[in-house]
Amino acid sequence: MKHDQTQFDALDVARIRADFPILGLQVNGHRLVYLDNAASSQMPQPVIDRMVRYHTTQHANIHRAVHALSEIATNEYEAARRTLQHFIHAREDREVIFTSGTTDAINLVMHGYGRQFIGPGDEIILTTLEHHANIVPWQMLAQEKGAIIRVAPINDAGEVQIDAYRQLFNARTKFVGLTQVSNALGTINPVKEMVGIAHEHGVPVLVDGAQAVPHMAVDVQDLDCDFYAFSGHKLCGPTGIGILYGKAALLEKMQPFKGGGDMILSVTFEKTTYNVIPHKFEAGTPPIAAAIGMAAAVDYLSAIGMAAISQQEQALLDYATSQLQTLPSVRIIGTAPHKAAVLSFVIDGVHPHDIGTLLNEDGIAVRTGHHCAQPVMQRLGLPATSRASFAFYNTMAEVDALIAGIRAVQKVFL
C-alpha cells in the first residue's frame, strides 16, 4: 500500500523540490530518484545563485589588499565563518576553520595535534563504525610515533558497546576519534556520553560529524567535543569545502598543518611567526566561493529548520524500513533503534553492484560497496551493501519507486 505524503508532511516538499533543479532530470527515461545523499546531497538554486553572485560581482583574493573588491570578498568570507559558527553553536568564530572537507579537517588535527602530543606507547581510541577518513590518518600517526590504536566494538545491530568503550581507557590513552552518525549503517552514537567518558580521563575527542550535521541540530558546546569536522557537500553546499571546529585553547597549542601565505605574521629565513587562529590553519588562497556557498546552504537549511528536516527524514526512513521488511530475501544491515536517514541492505544471492546497476536503469541512484567503512563490513561478515540515503527533499513516492525497483531486481535474479 502506497503511503500518502500529506499524512506526515511538516514541510511543503513539492515547493522545496522546486528549489533543486537537478531533481527534474530524466535518467534512462525515468525521473531521477536520488537516494545517494550520504555521499553527496544536491544543491538548491539559492546556493547556486549565491555562488554565481560572488563570482560575477564580488570575486577577489581576500585579506591584506585595500581595494574594494578584496574588502568585499574578505567581508563575505568572514561572514560565512560566522554563519557556520552560529550553525554549530561554537563559542567564537576563531574556533571555526575552513578546510577542504571532513577528511582534510581530520588530517589537520592528526598533524597539528597528534604529531605534537602523541608519542610512543600512547593509545588512540576509535570505533568500529569509523569511516576510513577517521582511521587511516591515525594509523599513519601510530606508525610514525609508535602509538597504539584501540577499537571500540559494535554489536550485531551496529551500536557501539559503551561498556567496552569505557574499558579501553587507561593512563596511556591520549586521544579519541569517533563518528556521530555511521555513514554505512546510519547508527547515531551517544556522542555526548562518549565525550564525557573520555573527559573523565582527561582525553580530548574529535567527532566526525559529516553524516550528522545534514540531519540534526548540532551544538558543539553542548556535546563538549574538542574537535568537530564536517563537509559542505553533504548539507546542500558545494564540494571542496568543510569545517573543523576546535576549542580555542587546543587550537592555539597546535602546530599548523600547512605552511604558506596568510598563515603567518612575519617570515624571515631565520624564523617564521605564525598568525593567530583560525588563520594559522588556512594557508594560501582558501576556497572563497565554496565557503560563501556553504554558508548559503546553512542559511537555506536553517530557514527550513533542522527539527523539521529531522522529522521529514525520520518519516522517510521509518516508511522505507517497514517496506523493505516486507520483501523476501532482503536484509537490513544496521538495525540500531537510533538512526539517521541511512538504510543499508542486502538481497541474499544478489551482488550489491548488480542491485545498483539495475536500479539505475529505472533512474534510481543508490550507493553500493563498502562505503569507505571496511571494518564495519568485516565485523558484519559482508563484502558490501546497497545503501539508500534520504534527504528532506525526498518523497514517499520515491521510497515506493525504490521498493518497486528492488522487486524488479528480485525477478531478474531470484
Segments in 211-278 forming alpha helices (H) = 220-223, 248-253
Q: Is residue 86 part of a domain?
A: yes
25 lies in the same domain as 74:
no
Confidence category of residue 6, pLDDT binned at 50, 70, 90 = very low
Instruction: Tell me the mean pLDDT in the region 295-321.
Output: 97
Q: What is the pLDDT of residue 209?
A: 98
User: pLDDT tens digits, residue range 333-384?
Assistant: 999 999 999 999 999 999 999 999 999 999 999 999 999 999 999 999 999 9
Q: What is the pLDDT of residue 265?
A: 87
224 lies in the same domain as 356:
no
Query: Which of 33-37, 53-57, 270-274, 341-345 shows the lowest per-residue confidence on average (mean pLDDT)?
Result: 270-274
- State how far the Cα of 113 lies from the Cα of 375, in Å rounded to an integer: 25
CATH number of the domain residue 151 falls in: 3.40.640.10
Q: What is the pLDDT of residue 44?
A: 98
Is the pLDDT at 3 greater than 60? The verdict is: no
The percentage of residues in the chain with a pLDDT greater than 70, rounded to a whole number, is 98
Confidence category of residue 8, pLDDT binned at 50, 70, 90 = very low
- State how far the Cα of 178 lies from the Cα of 19, in Å rounded to an integer: 34
The percentage of residues in the chain with a pLDDT greater than 90, rounded to a whole number, is 92
Q: Is residue 41 part of a domain?
A: no
Q: Is residue 40 part of a domain?
A: no
Is the pLDDT at 40 greater than 90? The verdict is: yes
- State how far the Cα of 53 lies from the Cα of 296, in Å rounded to an integer: 12
Is the pLDDT at 34 greater than 50? The verdict is: yes
64 lies in the same domain as 176:
yes
- State how far the Cα of 393 lies from the Cα of 42, in Å rounded to an integer: 9
Closest CA to 169 of 195, 143, 190, 192: 195
Q: Are strands 33-34 and 364-365 parallel, antiparallel or unpaired?
A: parallel
User: pLDDT tens digits, residue range 64-76?
Assistant: 889 999 999 999 9
Number of domains in the chain: 2
Burial class of 293 by CB neighbour count within 10 A (0 to 12, 13 to 18, 19+): buried
Active site residues: 372
Q: Is residue 320 part of a domain?
A: yes
* Phi, psi (rounded to 5 degrees) for 105: -65, -45
Is the pLDDT at 141 greater than 80? The verdict is: yes
Domain stops at, among 303, 318, 336: 303
Give the count of beta carbons closer than 10 Å to the beta carbon of residue 150.
16
C-alpha cell belonging to residue 168: 579501553
Higher per-residue pLDDT: 4 or 279:
279
137 lies in the same domain as 155:
yes
Q: Is the dihedral of CA 275, 280, 285, 289 positive or negative?
A: negative
Q: What is the pLDDT of residue 98?
A: 98
353 lies in the same domain as 237:
no
96 lies in the same domain as 244:
yes
225 lies in the same domain as 317:
no
C-alpha cell belonging to residue 263: 598563515
Q: Is residue 36 part of a domain?
A: no
End-to-end Cα spacing for the chain: 23
320 lies in the same domain as 279:
no
Domain stops at, among 255, 288, 303: 303
Quick one: DSSP state of residue 350? B
112 lies in the same domain as 248:
yes
18 lies in the same domain as 102:
no
Q: Is residue 141 part of a domain?
A: yes
Contact (CB, 8 A) for 207 and 247: no
Look up cell 554565481; give the residue.
Answer: 52
Closest CA to 209 of 184, 234, 185: 234
Q: Is residue 42 part of a domain?
A: no
User: pLDDT tens digits, residue range 90-131?
Assistant: 999 999 999 999 999 999 999 999 999 999 999 999 999 999
The mean predicted confidence, pLDDT, of the chain is 95
Q: Work out the widest C-alpha separation in the chain, in whole angstroms.
A: 74
pTM for this entry? 0.95
Domain stops at, among 259, 282, 303: 303
Is the pLDDT at 410 greater than 70? The verdict is: yes
Closest CA to 403 of 323, 319, 321: 323
Q: Is residue 43 part of a domain?
A: no
Q: What is the pLDDT of residue 10?
A: 64
356 lies in the same domain as 243:
no
Instruction: Tell me the mean pLDDT in the region 204-217.
Output: 98
CATH number of the domain residue 322 falls in: 3.90.1150.10
Give the count of beta carbons closer than 10 Å to the beta carbon of residue 306.
17
Closest CA to 176 of 184, 166, 186, 185: 166
Contact (CB, 8 A) for 129 and 187: yes
Is the pLDDT at 9 greater than 90? The verdict is: no
Q: Domain of residue 345: give its range.
A: 5-31+305-413
Confidence category of residue 24, pLDDT binned at 50, 70, 90 = very high
118 lies in the same domain as 238:
yes
